[in-house]
Amino acid sequence: MEILLATQNEHKKEEIIAMLPQNFLLKTFKDYDFNGDIEETGKTFEENAYIKAKFGYDLSHIPCFSDDSGMVVEALNGEPGIYSARYAGTGDFKDNIAKVLKNMRDVAYRNAYFISVICWVSEKETRYFEGRVYGTISTEVRGVHGFGYDPIFIPNGYTHSFAEIAPEKKNQISHRAIALEKFKNFLDSQSVNF
């Protein structure tokens, strides 16, 4: 069975491929010669995931799923939230991280969470699967693994940032892993044969 993953983020693609079974054909926008931008105009993670998944389904006419994810910092009133990828306005995650650390400089309450929402669009239905992992914001950049805000996010129960944890371990406990596990269970329950 062919399934389209609606993303152009190669890091996200690699992380998702590592977590899903390998016995199906996972396509991406590259297979359809699409390298443009999909404007994420939604006001929630669900809305943005749907926009991407619906675009991918309309483009390919095969079942499509998309992930919209980000980091929510409670002391920053939920920022960066749906603007996680473009928080600093430069498109560079080093700048995004620097902005979070600057905004959190004198803040003692450092609770945050990563959220991932997967939207599945097929001919028959649209479904959503959510995963969250809670933790705190570090006071400095720590680690070299991962991507995005991983170097400043310390998951609850750990003393290391996501960027200090081996990728295989992070892929077992991340927000995306939780959402993908729900997604896999849904596909299994629908008797979708990979």
- Going by C-alpha positions, the residue among 154, 158, 107 that lies closest to residue 135 is 154
**Which two three-digit tokens encode residue 74?**
């409670």
CB contact at 8 A, 131 and 176: yes
CB contact at 8 A, 118 and 65: yes
CB contact at 8 A, 8 and 38: no
**Which two three-digit tokens encode residue 126?**
């649209």
CB contact at 8 A, 123 and 113: no
Catalytic-role residue among 33, 58, 68, 106: 68
* Residue 154 identity: I
Distance CA 46, CA 39 (A): 14
Whether residue 106 lies in the annotated active site: no
Mean pLDDT (whole number) for 168-187: 90
Instruction: Give 175's pLDDT tier (boundaries 50, 70, 90).
Output: very high
Distance CA 3, CA 20 (A): 12
**CATH fold for the domain made of 2-189:** Maf protein (3.90.950)
Select, from the ranges 29-38, 101-110, 139-148, the one with the highest average predicted confidence (pLDDT). Answer: 101-110
Secondary structure class of 127 (helix, strand, coil): strand
Residue 74 pLDDT more than 90? Answer: yes
